[in-house]
Structure 1
């Protein structure tokens, strides 16, 4: 009988907590993990791509991470930070005796150098860097961050695994791009053969936290000898490989293949709801620097048809204008009137005429490695053309897309997706420097008020104003909510279903 692993993303339970397993864990073995492609980099500071975070979270660690309820929990830090009464001094105690993969010992100097690099290189680091006035080593085991004003998202930003505040040796922090991939994680890089595999092996000097497994937090046990990440860009190839049991874990399968996976040699892993697909607008230059053009796109798109084409069955998606589903305390319907499930072609035509559209191609940057992105793009193209746009589809490899989206001259819309993030300020559009480059007075007023407030209930109220500005200025178009599907070898145990799958604590049963 097949097991179906299901993780429900709510404010109460977002990751499945494993407090004890019913059978003994075995040490040893190698697993092969099929991913959607080749990561563009192994520097998690330099990319917000989920694929980069999935691989590199095994190699590098942050000061904090997320527990099973999406609360921040210590990882390389010894405890949650102490915050001054005025909210502008954040003191972080560090775990001692932590070794890097080169056997050097982590000190506060490494943490300071790493965080300074993060504020210069990572989009989320730059976001935090706008309010960080200093990062200093109080002593070898304490780091102090000073702020220009209270900043509630800082702890979540320090916890995330993409555009991540990883801690690396101070000597390597000057590297850009990173060429020495030395972290503190449970596995270290052994070999990378581009387009073939990334081989990680157990780091024998790793010092796990004690206690129970708790989401991404708690104990990180190194049962496996090796983890090999293998790029399999074609979704149909991933389906066939999952059915045949060719890999121990296959990530990002088209949800319509659920029954095929159920009948095959591996087990389906479903996360419901997983996240949202989003069309990001280039507000910096080109067609979408005109807000009326963005509003025309918002009016033209038909999310119901887009999601149906992408996911096939309403069992795997929901039409939802709110940026967070009703299972999250961030949920609100305020400001969502412009979201029309079947679009409004006539309104789009009127807005396009008002914008003075000259017939220039609207360039949509997408990839077929996430097949649902491409299917949504095809439906979007039809509705946009019906509204009067000339549409140019630029279909590239995912690694190329993550490179090209950094150049505002190359695209007008790019398609991506995200899990529902525990802190709204982790969303890419909240950063002025994230591709899309949304930076307006209205945004800044709403986001800065939200970020400065520490009271959780008041922050929920203030996020309503952020969502209103998103709909008024259209830096992005959230299409809906969707579930995600992966496949797992029945002999692979100890894997917690999660948005970014991880394989410490995993083992092969006898």
Structure 2
């Protein structure tokens, strides 16, 4: 057996101080406030299952409540999290993962290897990377209570990368009784083994979400690094208050009603610069890619040539300047469906995009391609300020191209519910919507939902392409990085020709918080561990 060992180092302690006697009556209230972290997320938490739902807000919730066997560090390398370590047989067909001692679920039951096997089996039925792994799995099994054993039909060198991925469908571990839920149905009972417990009795969808510290959680001893390492909670409770209106959120932050505002609209940042008690920062240095996602099932975007004309008509600066308030340091053009700056983020030579496209020529091309006035419905989340401006830019662009377009404003929860509808736009369906993806989540082919051609089994929009999936299989089997890079370049070129998704550029989003908070981590998501009140 080939053994890889992972060991850790020291943890952290907390300290407090007594109040003067004259403040003794106020001490309980002050102490209670100090133990609560008040957070305003960027969107309402509508869906709770981080395996069944791919939205960023559900992903954040998933990291609070659940834990994973492996987690990535700032270099996106998987590190043991719930796992103690793993070994691989000489033929590469048997992976043995040993669990750390003392792992518990929120209901008090121990975390067992069979819970992990059932959880990974359910996750693999929903996730793109997971399905690639599941195709070669002979058995998700358990050798004993602390030893997970995965037997393969053929080698899969990226197994740990798969079960440690930080985005989209999270490979979270839940009790076996919940993990046996139909993968196509959402789990609603939130029992994880993460650092925080979900307070079902205090949850008000669209208004309030409450978590409390799980006393049975045993953090790793290593220092926290991105999503890996020790997740030490210094607060007893984390309370989310949903504030769709940015002005309301900013006012609450400045008066101290909340401690942390997830995302700040760029044009409102100057208001915060005058407040000495508030700081802003960029927590995800890789940035985000804004995108248009087409419905590839319904006319007119069931035709690749129509999608490609729209892609070539897009001017990324029009989107990026609006979402960043015109700050040239906060964005960059990227004519690629792998994020620029990542190993595969080189724009194809024939991408056909320009920051100054000839709209008149694209209008003629659209007519020549046979666009026949089919209605285009844009779903636009008015309550998500980082996405909402995109819809207005695209609405104006499609009108210039001569398309029959309608912008339908709605909240994010409604958009996500409607995005699974395959009806025609005139029967409650849709044609396109906008969103963004963290660069880390789409940096490699197997996790890049923007390009994968999985059809019914893929991301909403249901783009299907057998050649794309064949290339993905080749990428997974490639023996070295040079071979993988060459295959990824072919996939990127194919995706830009077929245009299931349009890249809108790479941008940064600032978060804002009271300066009394310290210890915030650079990570893809805003995470509460390591954060404390000074």
1:107 partnered with 2:129: no
1:91 partnered with 2:104: no
Residue 82 of structure 1: how far off its partner (Å): 3.5
Residue 148 of structure 1: how far off its partner (Å): 4.9
**What is the CA deviation profile of residues 237-260 of structure 1, one whole-angstrom value per residue up to 9, with x for unaligned ones?**
223333333311101111222222
What is the aligned partner in structure 2 of residue 408 from structure 1?
A: 422
2:289–2:339 CA contact under 8 A, matched in 1: no
What is the aligned partner in structure 2 of residue 421 from structure 1?
A: 440
Residue ranges of structure 1 left out of the alignment (5+ in a row): 1-17
Change (3 A) 1:109 1:452: same
DSSP 3-state at the match of 2:238: strand
DSSP 3-state at the match of 2:483: helix
Distance between the aligned counterparts of 2:338 and 2:129, measured in 1?
Answer: 20
What is the aligned partner in structure 1 of residue 54 from structure 2?
A: 48
DSSP 3-state at the match of 2:64: coil
1:232 partnered with 2:251: no
Change (3 A) 1:151 1:426: same
What aligned pairs does 1:58-97 form with structure 2 within 5 A after superposition?
58-79=64-85, 81-84=86-89, 87-97=92-102
Q: Of residues 291, 300, 309 in structure 2, which corresponds to 1:287?
A: 300
2:289–2:503 CA contact under 8 A, matched in 1: yes
Change (3 A) 1:327 1:181: same
1:144 partnered with 2:149: yes
Moved more, 113-122 or 214-223: 113-122
Corresponding pairs, count: 490
Distance between the aligned counterparts of 1:214 and 1:207, measured in 2?
Answer: 17
Distance between the aligned counterparts of 2:65 and 2:149, measured in 1?
Answer: 25
Q: Of residues 251, 258, 280 in structure 2, which corresponds to 1:268?
A: 280
Change (3 A) 1:19 1:343: farther
Q: Of residues 348, 368, 372 in structure 1, which corresponds to 2:382?
A: 368
2:261–2:511 CA contact under 8 A, matched in 1: yes
Residue 307 of structure 1: how far off its partner (Å): 1.6
Residue ranges of structure 2 left out of the alignment (5+ in a row): 1-8, 17-30, 424-428
DSSP 3-state at the match of 2:125: helix
What aligned pairs does 1:201-280 form with structure 2 within 5 A after superposition?
201-264=212-275, 265-271=277-283, 272-280=285-293
What aligned pairs does 1:299-310 form with structure 2 within 5 A after superposition?
299-310=312-323
Distance between the aligned counterparts of 1:186 and 1:349, measured in 2?
Answer: 54
Residue 338 of structure 1: how far off its partner (Å): 1.1
Q: CA RMSD in A?
A: 2.5
Moved more, 134-143 or 482-491: 134-143
2:234–2:530 CA contact under 8 A, matched in 1: yes
**What is the CA deviation profile of residues 53-97 of structure 1, one whole-angstrom value per residue up to 9, with x for unaligned ones?**
112211101111111222111111212x43455655433222233
DSSP 3-state at the match of 1:82: strand
1:296 partnered with 2:309: yes
Change (3 A) 1:258 1:350: same
Q: Of residues 395, 414, 418 in structure 2, which corresponds to 1:381?
A: 395
DSSP 3-state at the match of 2:301: helix
What is the aligned partner in structure 2 of residue 398 from structure 1?
A: 412
1:292–1:354 CA contact under 8 A, matched in 2: no
Residue 134 of structure 1: how far off its partner (Å): 2.9
Distance between the aligned counterparts of 1:72 and 1:65, measured in 2?
Answer: 5
What is the aligned partner in structure 1 of residue 473 from structure 2?
A: 448
**What is the CA deviation profile of residues 247-290 of structure 1, one whole-angstrom value per residue up to 9, with x for unaligned ones?**
11101111222222222232111244511101112223332111
Change (3 A) 1:291 1:282: same
DSSP 3-state at the match of 1:421: helix
1:25–1:507 CA contact under 8 A, matched in 2: no
Distance between the aligned counterparts of 1:261 and 1:158, measured in 2?
Answer: 40
2:315–2:354 CA contact under 8 A, matched in 1: yes
Distance between the aligned counterparts of 2:221 and 2:138, measured in 1?
Answer: 34
**What is the CA deviation profile of residues 291-347 of structure 1, one whole-angstrom value per residue up to 9, with x for unaligned ones?**
111112112222221222222221221112134455322231324531111233244
Distance between the aligned counterparts of 2:105 and 2:432, measured in 1?
Answer: 40
What aligned pairs does 1:331-342 form with structure 2 within 5 A after superposition?
331-335=345-349, 337-342=351-356
What is the aligned partner in structure 1 of residue 490 from structure 2?
A: 465
DSSP 3-state at the match of 1:31: strand
DSSP 3-state at the match of 1:342: coil
Distance between the aligned counterparts of 2:336 and 2:136, measured in 1?
Answer: 28
Distance between the aligned counterparts of 1:142 and 1:359, measured in 2?
Answer: 60
DSSP 3-state at the match of 2:262: strand
Q: Which has the higher contact order (CA 8 A, sep 6+)?
A: 1
Q: Of residues 160, 163, 170 in structure 2, which corresponds to 1:158?
A: 163
Change (3 A) 1:288 1:133: farther
1:35 partnered with 2:41: yes
Moved more, 366-375 or 463-472: 366-375
Distance between the aligned counterparts of 2:405 and 2:347, measured in 1?
Answer: 31
Residue 124 of structure 1: how far off its partner (Å): 5.1
Normalising by structure 1, report the TM-score.
0.89
